[in-house]
Chain A
Amino acid sequence: NAGVMQNPRHLVRRRGQEARLRCSPMKGHSHVYWYRQLPEEGLKFMVYLQKENIIDESGMPKERFSAEFPKEGPSILRIQQVVRGDSAAYFCASSPPVEGRSDGYTFGSGTRLTVV
């Protein structure tokens, strides 16, 4: 009965490289949310996905960032050509497909991205 699994836990990238962050939701959960936590700040919403659909990407930077949640496999948050300002903790959360009520998310332990 695993929770939300994120990997890697820590990721170091040089400026200009690509970062790929993975998130496997809880069993039975079909909604995935990505949040970013910058040092000394709260969590900022990035994107909300369901299987094969991006529902809300209003928090995603317009360039270099993309997310997907394929029919099979984990959700992927991809950051191309990383810059120092991308250094942050990236959290994934999942929830079941309950319409009309938010049961609260189950969070993963996060991926801490460091850009050097």
Chain B
Amino acid sequence: AQSVTQPDIHITVSEGASLELRCNYSYGATPYLFWYVQSPGQGLQLLLKYFSGDTLVQGIKGFEAEFKRSQSSFNLRKPSVHWSDAAEYFCAVAPSGGYQKVTFGTGTKLQVIP
């Protein structure tokens, strides 16, 4: 069965600093990978997704993620964090074919301080 681990429950960064959120997955083959962001009281918004090809994926809001097969990781990065990036971030995995069930990690809450 597929699973996702986000080892950091909370992260605090200063505005303007760089950010990296960790994600590790477990799946028998190369899965489809996603990052979503959730603002308080809101639904989830897709930041970026990886299906195949270039392992560095660009997303919205200046985010990027890198797929590393050898480490089973799909870490999310941003070079300079803005206060509006404070939210909860979810990594997710889905099978690479057929049925589209998506499994989510438990999330990382990002706090941005001035």
Residue in B closest to A56 when the chains form the complex, CB atoms: B101
**Contact yes or no, A102 B94, CB < 8 A:** yes
Given A101-B51, A107-B44, decide whether A42 and B104 contact each other with a Cβ distance below 8 A.
Answer: yes
- Using a CB–CB cutoff of 8 Å, the interface residues on chain A facing chain B are 4, 6, 31, 33, 35, 41-45, 48, 55-56, 91, 93, 95, 98-110, 112
The 9 closest A-B pairs by CB, nearest first: A42-B106, A107-B43, A102-B94, A102-B100, A109-B43, A107-B44, A43-B104, A42-B104, A104-B46
Contact A107 B102 (CB under 8 A): no
Interface-central residue, A42, A48, A104, A112, by most chain B CB under 10 Å: A104
Task: Name the B residues within 8 Å of A91 (CB-CB).
Answer: 43-44
A and B contact pairs by CB, cutoff 8 A, 30 listed = A4-B43, A33-B101, A42-B90, A42-B107, A43-B44, A43-B104, A45-B102, A45-B103, A48-B99, A48-B101, A55-B99, A56-B101, A95-B100, A98-B100, A99-B98, A101-B32, A101-B51, A101-B96, A102-B32, A102-B95, A103-B49, A105-B44, A105-B46, A106-B46, A107-B36, A107-B43, A108-B43, A109-B42, A109-B43, A110-B42
Residues of B within 8 A of A41 (CB): 106
User: Beyond A42-B105, A102-B94, A102-B95, is A31–B43 a contact (Cβ under 8 Å)?
Assistant: no
Closest A residue to B51 using CB positions? A101
List 14 other contacts, CB 8 Å, given A33-B101, A107-B43. Answer: A33-B102, A42-B107, A45-B102, A45-B103, A101-B96, A101-B97, A102-B100, A102-B102, A104-B102, A105-B44, A105-B46, A105-B102, A108-B43, A110-B43
Which B residues from 72 to 104 make CB contacts under 8 A with A? 90, 94-104
CA distance A31 to B102 in the complex (A): 13
- A107's contact among B45, B95, B101, B105, by CB below 8 Å, is which? B45
**Contact flag A100-B98 (CB < 8 Å), given A42-B105, A43-B104:** yes
Q: Which residue of A lies closest to B44 (CB)?
A: A107
| CB nearest to A100 among chain B residues | B97
> B103 — which chain A residues lie within 8 A by C-beta?
45
A100 vs B90: C-alpha distance when bound (angstroms): 23
